[in-house]
Amino acid sequence: MTTRRPLLAAAVLALGLAAAPLLSATSAEAAQPAAAALPDHNRVIVYYQKEFANGTNAYISPLPLLTEHTGVDVVNIAAVHMNADALYLNDWLPSDQRFAQMWTELHTMQSSGIALIGMIGGAMNETWVNLQADFATQYPRLKAFIDSYGLDGIDLDVETPTALATVEKVITSLRADYGPDFLITLSPVSAAMEGDPVNISGFDYDTLYRDLGDDIAWFNMQFYCNWGTPTAEEYEAVVEHQQTAGAHIPPSKLVLAVVTNPDNCAGWLPLPVLQQNLRALTDSHPDFGGVAGWEYFNSLPEGPAAPWEWATLMRKTLDGGPIPTPTPDPTPSPDPSPTADPSPEPSSSATPVATLAETGEDGLALAAWGVIGGATLLGGIAAVAAVAHRRRAGASRG
């Protein structure tokens, strides 16, 4: 595995923040330095979708994933919506002032070797419908987004029926425009990776891999939201299919995607149980693809006060660290609010977004890093029956 990088984080942080005024959220000056340094197995991936707290609109910083030396490899920035009129990051233009601090911090993280990937699609939005209907308009918008923010890759989350030809056109266009080091990943539900011809993407992933497997870095397989449970047994079922009737996708390209908190969707495992399953997989597969967490803001064991601890725990587990004794399971919130609603839209002025330190929610957690804390974030994903079979039921973006 590639040598870890945390010892330089403090120095990189200081240099990055000192140079922050020179960074433009609309420039392509953040080159793609991280992709080439990524390990080819045992990856730790974090989905960063909720950038602002419900109610307070306090900013949720990803920076501790670097400064706390978590060992995270990839941050998937979610969710990019390719609407008919424009490309949005959740419900706002990526250039909105509310994201200025986020982009500066993400580029600081990128400069230390953490890869930045933009996730397009998800449930309950029109991204893939629009790409299929008007590729000539939509793809240039995606390219402009990648260029503006210096992304290392794109994650294709296809949760609406889409023609295989459309997905392949996106992949081949990205590869032609950005070369062999650009990361192209997909986030199918786990059933689709076992050869299920009827899945929410609308196409066969084995056929896709047979056609363009060399262009696909890995698959973040969703073992949650009623599509599966992240156990070694269910992962092995995918491996068995791939080794026999499937497209022979190796374990190094099969990432176990999990929910980081029972509030986020069905399929959560207590952390020691998840760790035991991960250890079984690393023992069985030296080339195990790794683990991805949906999503960052309320990740256990510490929840909103220190969501980066999940990545630290996953890195230690994949690297062979001790597994703690199980503790009582947390109880899901009885009436979680959808993570799709980051909070009321701010005014169009350039007023800086308030942090929790300014709103008084959690001064202790923010004294060091200005990070989100407090119980106001313990909203989860509303288990709406109509989308019970979609993993982004509450995290998807309206």
DSSP string of 243-260, one letter each residue? HTTS----GGGEEEEEES
In-domain check, residue 73? yes
- Total of domains in the chain: 1
Query: Checking DSSP bridges between strand 43-48 and strand 74-82, what pairing results, if any?
Result: parallel
| pLDDT: which is higher, 54 or 376 | 54
CB 115 within 8 A of CB 152: yes
Name the one residue in this structure whose structure tokens are 């390719």: 82
- Give the mean pLDDT of 188-214: 95
> CA 31 to CA 28: how far, in whole Å?
7
Lowest-pLDDT range of 6-10, 201-205, 245-249:
6-10
Which H or E run contains 137? helix 135-149
In a domain, residue 21? The reply is: no
Band of the pLDDT at 326, cuts 50, 70, 90? low
The closest alpha carbon to 232, from 191, 189, 273, 188, belongs to 273
Query: Tokens representing 38?
Result: 């990524």
What confidence score (pLDDT) does residue 55 get? 78
Token pair of 32 as six digits = 């793609």
Q: Is the pLDDT of residue 254 over 90?
A: yes
Q: Are strands 74-82 and 115-122 parallel, antiparallel or unpaired?
A: parallel
Residue 321: its pLDDT value, please? 86
Within a 10 A sphere around the Cβ of 136, how many other Cβ atoms? Answer: 6
pLDDT at 35: 67
Percent of the chain with pLDDT over 70: 72
Question: 192 by DSSP, 3-state: which?
Answer: helix
d(C-alpha 295, C-alpha 299), whole Å:
7
Over 70: is that where the pLDDT of 112 sits?
A: yes
pLDDT (0 to 100) of residue 344:
36
Inside any domain, residue 7? no
Say if residue 346's pLDDT is above 80: no
Interaxial angle between packed helices 309-318 and 271-284, expressed in degrees from 0 to 180 and rounded to the nearest 10: 30
Mapped onto helix, strand or coil, the DSSP state of residue 82 is strand
At what angle are helices 205-212 and 164-178 packed, to 10 degrees?
Answer: 30
Residues 95, 5: Cα–Cα separation, whole Å: 30
pLDDT tens-digit profile of 166-196? 999 999 999 999 999 999 999 999 999 999 8
Instruction: Find the mean pLDDT for residues 100-121.
Output: 97
In angstroms, the CA 237 to CA 243 distance is: 10
Q: What is the pLDDT of residues 118-157, one digit of tens each?
A: 999 998 899 999 999 999 999 999 999 999 999 999 999 9
Mean pLDDT (the chain, rounded): 81
Tokens of 4: 């870890």
Q: How far is CA 395 from CA 79, 283, 388, in A?
A: 9, 32, 12
| pLDDT, position 217 | 98
Write 320-323 long-range contacts (CB < 8 A, 24+).
320/282, 323/272, 323/275, 323/276, 323/279
What value does the mean pLDDT take over residues 313-342? Answer: 64
pLDDT at position 8: 40
Alpha helices in the chain (DSSP H): 9-18, 64-67, 100-111, 127-133, 135-149, 164-178, 205-212, 232-243, 271-284, 309-318, 356-359, 363-369
50-79 residue pLDDT tens: 999 887 889 999 999 999 999 999 999 999
Instruction: Please give the helix or strand (H or E) that residue 103 lies within, else none.
Output: helix 100-111
pLDDT over 90 at 394, yes or no: no
Respond yes or no on whether the N-terminal peptide bond of residue 295 is cis (omega within 30° of 0): yes
User: Rounded mean pLDDT of 16-39?
Assistant: 50
18 falls within a domain: no
Question: Could you list the residue range(s) of the whole structural domain that residue 292 is in?
Answer: 39-387
pLDDT at residue 390, as a whole number? 37
76, β-bridge pairs: 47, 117
The DSSP bridge partners found for residue 45 are: 74, 292
pLDDT band at residue 198 using 50, 70 and 90 as cut-offs = confident
User: How does residue 6 score in pLDDT terms, banded at 50, 70 and 90?
Assistant: very low
Which residue carries 């999990």 as its tokens?
258
Average pLDDT over residues 106-128: 96
Is 102 among the domain residues?
yes
Cβ contact 220:187 at 8 Å: yes
How far is CA 187 from its chain centroid? 10
pLDDT at 330: 52
pLDDT at 294 over 80: yes
Mapping DSSP to helix (H, G, I), strand (E, B) and coil, where does residue 300 land? coil
| 229 located within any domain | yes
13 found inside a domain: no
- pLDDT number for residue 368: 35
pLDDT at res. 124: 86
Residue pointed to by tokens 């009582």: 328
Q: Judge whether residue 265 has pLDDT over 80.
A: yes
Determine contact, residues 359/58, Cβ cutoff 8 Å: yes
| Residue 377 resides in a domain | yes
Which CATH number belongs to the domain containing residue 212 in this structure?
3.20.20.80
